Amino acid sequence: MLALISAFGLVLAVELPDKTLVATLVLTTRFRAWPVFVGVTAAFAVQSAIAAVFGSVLTLLPETLVTAIVAAMFGIGAYMLLREGFSPGKDGGEDASRSGPSPATFFRSALTSFGVLFAAEWGDASQLATASLTARFGNPFAVALGSFVALVAVAGLAVFIGAKVRSRIRPKLIQRVAGFVFAGFSLFALSQLAF
């Protein structure tokens, strides 16, 4: 029980001010809330399991490679969001998930959300914390569960806020802001490569 509570508390504290909350919020302003929540929850489940199973082995991955992959994923996301946000077209009060040529399907929204958060969590503080706590407590299931529940709590908060914001802001504006946020994450990751 101590392993579960320790993992929950540590991961929750690390993730509340982290890119995970912002990325989930941005995805929720772009897609419907339910598929985003399903996609990020699945990504968190896989990442928590990986971190717990491999424990300290994950900390041995080359940090440069992990950072480069994260930077590339956020860069691709920024490009896609900015391209759509600045494309000519209707920008009425339609749902953000319906802008563009066709509405986003549940599967596409969930898969996009999974991909973004799965990539963003590699080498993240919560993953490293989960791996470290697994090595310390020797209870991978309890640590993974505590970590997963904390990540889902953060995602739930972000989805709730994102769904509320989406109905009050123009979709093109949301896409532009989201694109610049993702570009910022990409540049931040690239700046870490230099040091």
Domain boundaries in the chain?
1-88+100-193
Contact criterion met (CB below 8 Å) for 183 and 75: yes
The string of pLDDT tens digits covering residues 93-117 is 444 444 433 367 899 999 999 998 8
Q: For residue 21, what pLDDT band results from cuts at 50, 70 and 90?
A: confident
| Type of residue at 100 | G
The string of pLDDT tens digits covering residues 53-64 is 766 454 456 777
Location of structure tokens 């982290």: 18
The string of pLDDT tens digits covering residues 129-180 is 787 777 677 788 898 999 999 999 988 988 888 777 766 766 677 667 767 8
Q: For 21-30, 35-44, 52-61, 106-115, which range has the lowest pLDDT when averaged over its residues?
A: 52-61
d(CA 133, CA 114): 24
